[in-house]
Amino acid sequence: MQKIRGSWRELPYGRAVTTATPQSVRSSERFSTKREVADHLGFSPRWVELQVAKGMPSHKWGGRRRFKLSKVERWLRTQEKRAA
């Protein structure tokens, strides 16, 4: 058995259960659409597409891109530091 974020508990009869929660479930932040990211940042959806091409973090589900705003904002801060 592999331990992944959390701890193992032994149960009767030699079975083990983890108290770990997957990262995606643990985070209560929802995924945002391209339009929502653009509105949040004050840019156009096209600008968001250009930033994705430069490496902006996103996930693609069924041909549609989704974003975590916290990861996008962190990425933008690192881009600002590089430009300075």
Share of the chain above pLDDT 70, in %: 68
Q: Is 44 in contact with 38 (CB distance < 8 Å)?
A: yes
* pLDDT, tens only, 1-26: 444 444 444 445 555 444 444 454 45
Phi first, then psi: give them for residue 69, nearest 5 degrees: -60, -35
The domains of the chain, with CATH numbers, are 29-83 (1.10.10)
Q: Per-residue DSSP letters for 25-67?
A: HH--PPPB-HHHHHHHHTS-HHHHHHHHHTT---EEETTEEEB
Indicate the pTM of the whole model. 0.66
Q: Which helix (H) or strand (E) holds 81?
A: helix 69-83
